Chains A and B, each alone.
Chain A
Amino acid sequence: MIKAGARLIATVLLCLTVAGSAYASDLIVIIVNEKNPTTVIGKEELRKIYEDRMLKWADGTPITVYDLAINDPVRESFYQTVFDTPSEKMAEMWAHLKITNQAKNPPINVKNEYRIMKMVSMEEGAIGYVSLSSAKSGEIQGLKVIATLQ
């Protein structure tokens, strides 16, 4: 009985570990509208876009920035990878920019990755990030991947 209990706990722990590592290992991709002429983007440009320092694409199209909710694990992973900063720190920065009236192009927060893909597929200048598995689901057409974050 005790052995069975221990085995059950071990199995649950193993499942949790595998589930956690599977999530953490899911890559993040940067998506834009398929009409966007940009084919590739680097971390430096991404930082500029998500820090309000790059407002237009090279062809002059205004950039619309999409972001996930503050506590979303994909968002946390994105900011850790691109900025080496917790997602909450970036939220603080944006809040301060907004109340000081300095925010020029704040990101639009949406509830889930599906919505980011949907919005980016509909707006020519839009940019967003989603997990690779969501991007691969092929649920939404009209998107283009321009970077994969390791």
Chain B
Amino acid sequence: MFIRGFLTIFAAVALLIAFQRPSVAEPLDQLYQDVETLKKENELLQDRLKNLEVQNEEDSFTEKKKVTISGYSDIEYDFTNQPGVNDHFSLNHLSLFFSEKLLKEWSLFSEVEFSGGTGIQSNTASDTVAASQGGISVEQMLIKYRPAPELEFALGRFLTPAGLWLIYHYPPFVPTQQQPLFLQNIFPGFSDGLKLDYTFNAFDSTVDAQVYVSNGSGNPGSIARNSGKSIGGRLDLTTDISDNRLEYGASFLSATDSTGMYQNSYLAHLKFNLRALGLQTEYAARQNMALGASSNFWDAGYYAQGTYDINKWTLAARWDWYNSDMQTALNDQYVYTGAVNYHFSHSLVGKVEFDQYNFSNPSMGNYYATIVSLAVALGDL
């Protein structure tokens, strides 16, 4: 009796368990299925989100209808013993760049520069903006047509294609605030005209050729006083030597300036990067001939600059010479420069620079300048 009762209860419990099992497993299976479904949905949603983000980026690339604004600025403090010059702060530049892709092959690029602490007004009536309050200039303004990646036509105002420093001179990206002496003496800083740029590869070198016709020296604006147009060109070759880079080339400009002086300018440049070590040097000379005069004279300049990068630091040294009339050594000017840069980022650099100015002419007093500066690049560069 007891056994029968026990077996009955046992059978009932067993049946109960047997029936209950699937009812416990079912919700678990269901949960697993739900989790799997959610996972798949999540993956699909993530993929959709990525596609939407990419589509958004593509749209921003393909449209390119917006004007892009960028620029740079540099501020410095100068300590100097130059006679008549006090130690001073200087808002050297604020340059704004505007660019826009007009069509697939057409684009516009411009640079408006405020230099020397530009102020529109001065408290002193005799002050001019240029003399004491800095200046405002359009440094570049180009309408560019690029029918193929290697070919570009540019019409407007451009940096005169000559050598290295005349083009690559912007304070956030060069080690010194002071420029080599011959700059803007032998070749004009910028030119108004038409420029053709063609790039091709030959014998393991990349060749960049530029030719241009412009108003020439002394005629940067709309008042071209010279009778003819100036013609110039630049050839630049870059080649890899092992893992290092060698760049070299030559430039030429034939022009008549606004005083009627016929000038032929020549320049040779060389740049070599050996890992962290950089060497850059340029030699420029100009033949000056007054129209109708039988004699002519040459002015010339040269600099050699070495740089060494150590992590965020750059050390630089430069030897610089210029002679405004080679007929006499009394016109020799020299600048010896040493500089230390600290790159906070690729767009912010602090610099300390020492320049010693020496003159062959005893009537000109030698002097030094120490410059502490901060240069920053702005916008999407």
Of residues 103 through 118 on chain A, the ones whose CB sits less than 8 Å from some CB of chain B are: 104-105, 108, 110-111, 114-115, 118
Decide if B167 touches A102 in the complex (CB within 8 Å): yes
Per the bound structure, the CA–CA distance linking A110 and B54 in Å amounts to: 9
Say yes or no: A88-B50 contact (C-beta < 8 A), given A44-B240, A104-B149, A104-B199: no
Cα distance A105–B197 when bound, in Å?
Answer: 13
Q: Binary interface profile of A, 89-101, with partner B (CB < 8 Å = 1, else 0)?
A: 1011111101111
Within the complex, what minimum Cβ distance (angstroms) separates B325 from chain A?
31
Contact of A99 among B51, B309, B381 (CB under 8 A): B381
How far, in whole Å, are A102 and B57 apart by their CA atoms in the complex? 25
B343 on the A face (CB < 8 A): yes
B272 lies within 8 A of chain A by Cβ: no
Chain B residues contacting A92 (CB-CB under 8 Å) are: 172-173, 343, 346
Chain A contact residues, CB within 8 Å of chain B: 44, 47-48, 53-56, 62-63, 70, 84, 88-89, 91-96, 98-102, 104-105, 108, 110-111, 114-115, 118-119, 122
Q: Name 25 A/B residue pairs within 8 A (Cβ), A-sorted.
A: A44-B240, A48-B206, A63-B149, A84-B243, A92-B172, A92-B346, A93-B173, A95-B173, A95-B347, A96-B172, A98-B70, A99-B170, A100-B159, A100-B169, A101-B109, A101-B142, A102-B167, A104-B146, A105-B149, A111-B57, A118-B50, A118-B51, A119-B54, A119-B58, A122-B58
A88 and B149 contact, CB distance less than 8 A? no
A104: chain B residues at CB < 8 Å are 146, 149-150, 152, 199
Q: Is the CB of B150 within 8 A of A100?
A: no
Q: State the CA gap A73–B243 with chains docked (Å).
A: 22
B303 contacts the other chain (Cβ, under 8 Å)? no
User: A70 and B346: CB pair below 8 A?
Assistant: yes
Specify which chain B residues have a CB less than 8 angstroms from the CB of A47 in the assembled complex.
Answer: 240
Please name all residues of chain B whose beta carbon is closer than 8 Å to the beta carbon of A99 when the two chains form the complex: 70-72, 95, 97, 111, 170, 377, 381
Q: Does B345 contact A (CB under 8 A)?
A: yes
CB neighbours (8 Å) of B140 from chain A are 101
Is B346 a contact partner of A108 (Cβ separation < 8 A)?
Answer: no
**B residues less than 8 Å from A56 (CB atoms):** 149-150
Does B302 belong to the interface (CB within 8 Å)? Answer: no
Whether B54 and A118, one on each chain, are in contact in the complex, defined by CB atoms closer than 8 angstroms, is yes
CB <8 Å contact, B377 and A95: yes
In the complex, what residues of A have CB within 8 A of residue B137's CB? none
Closest chain-B Cβ to A121's Cβ sits at a distance in Å of 10
- In the complex, whether B53 has a CB less than 8 A from a CB of chain A is yes
Other contacts beyond A70-B346, A99-B95, A101-B140: 9, CB < 8 A: A53-B199, A53-B201, A53-B238, A92-B173, A96-B172, A99-B111, A100-B168, A101-B154, A101-B159
Known contacts A48-B206, A54-B201; is-contact A88 B346 (Cβ 8 Å): yes
Is the pair B343, A88 in contact by a Cβ cutoff of 8 Å?
A: yes
With a CB–CB cut-off of 8 A, which chain A residues contact B109? 101
Known: A62-B149, A92-B173, A101-B159. A84 touches B381 (CB 8 A): no
Contact in complex: A114, B50 (CB < 8 Å): yes
Expressed in whole angstroms, the Cα–Cα distance for A70 and B57 within the complex equals 18
Tell me if B158 counts as interface (CB < 8 A to partner A).
Answer: yes
In the complex, the answer to whether B70 meets A55 with C-beta atoms within 8 Å is: no
A104 vs B109: C-alpha distance when bound (angstroms): 13
- Is B2 interfacial (CB-CB < 8 Å)? no
Q: Is the CB of A100 within 8 A of B61?
A: no
- Chain A residue with Cβ nearest B173: A96
Would you call B275 an interface residue if the criterion is a C-beta within 8 Å of the partner chain's C-beta atoms? yes
Contact assessment for B346 and A53 in the assembled complex, using a CB-CB cutoff below 8 Å? no
> Within the complex, which residue of A88, A96, A108 is in contact with B345, where a contact is CB–CB below 8 Å?
A88
Enumerate chain A residues within 8 angstroms of B201, measured Cβ to Cβ.
Answer: 48, 53-54
- Report the 5 A-B pairs with minimum CB-CB distance, sorted nearest first: A95-B381, A55-B149, A53-B206, A91-B346, A96-B173
